[in-house]
Structure 1
């Protein structure tokens, strides 16, 4: 009898803990203020993004939204102000692209031991952005530490351009001649 009472109490405490976590501890992107939205990860493991909307009167409004990007190893994460500063990112960024990897000052901050070793969320985000460009971030960081100009050249030359469609005749030969 005592063990069933103890088991019932334990089950109640676990259920209460889960209910409290869901009610108070969950990170929902749409509930986050603008100043912590960028570089946050929801309880569902999706990245939060800051979006800009133009209202009917011409004024702009910023809202935090949930993206479809799932972060495999992190949930419920709001990036610290220290990491934002160390990595050289901006919380007011509307959308994030790989373009910043082309800026030597940004890459130097991202690849610094302080950022790369202590800010896994930001590093993961830019790791994936770099991979989308065909660049392996750890290699880019190593090159950046040893020869920053070479790192930028490799990034610039890494873009893959789809080949033009092949045909038997050139487009100029197929076009009617005009006199």
Structure 2
């Protein structure tokens, strides 16, 4: 029986050592300064999220998203790539909204970013595809055509429904307070 315990303990130690040597990345173990644009060893993208505690204090945590990468694993994006591509390490979540920003697109399509930062290009390529935009074509277009291509991008965010009663504005342009339809205040 003791030989089985020894073999089991050695197996566990060996597995742990292999993980440490290979440098596996688990999103939940990353801090705020390395989370955004990182990719776990399983090929899932890491996402920085903000949690608000009961006390009202904000806490930032790194979590594993459900977004797979095409070819990248075990990756923490370099500061030089973030700078070249016009990105911020403290961004929360993953969104295609920046594809609508012409200054961001100019940096993303620059030779330094597009040719030197495959993880970032892979992310925005896939976000673009999800919005019906082919990133290489968008980067090749110039001037008005690029604006037209960006205007075709649809927002992927949830939009809350509008009011069920017509909105009224006060003389100063601020919204008038409507009476409660539930009777609760």
User: How many aligned positions are there?
Assistant: 143
Unmatched 5+ residue regions in structure 1?
1-14, 161-179
* C-alpha displacement of 1:154: 1.9
Report the secondary structure of 1:153's partner residue: helix
CA distance in 1 between partners of 2:153 and 2:107 (Å): 21
1:89 aligned residue: 87
Report the secondary structure of 2:50's partner residue: strand
* C-alpha displacement of 1:99: 1.1
2:29 aligned residue: 31
CA distance in 2 between partners of 1:42 and 1:126 (Å): 17
- Within a 5 Å distance, the mapping from 1:42-61 to structure 2 comes to 42-61=40-59
Are 1:150 and 2:148 counterparts? no
Note the aligned Cα RMSD (angstroms).
2.0
Report the secondary structure of 2:33's partner residue: helix
Q: Give the TM-score normalised by the residue count of structure 2.
A: 0.72
2:17 aligned residue: 20
- Within a 5 Å distance, the mapping from 1:40-119 to structure 2 comes to 40-119=38-117
Report the secondary structure of 1:68's partner residue: strand
* C-alpha displacement of 1:97: 1.2
CA distance in 2 between partners of 1:111 and 1:96 (Å): 19
* C-alpha displacement of 1:19: 4.7
CA distance in 2 between partners of 1:72 and 1:22 (Å): 22
Deviations 1:105-138 (A, max 9, x none): 0000000000000000000000011111100000
* C-alpha displacement of 1:159: 4.1
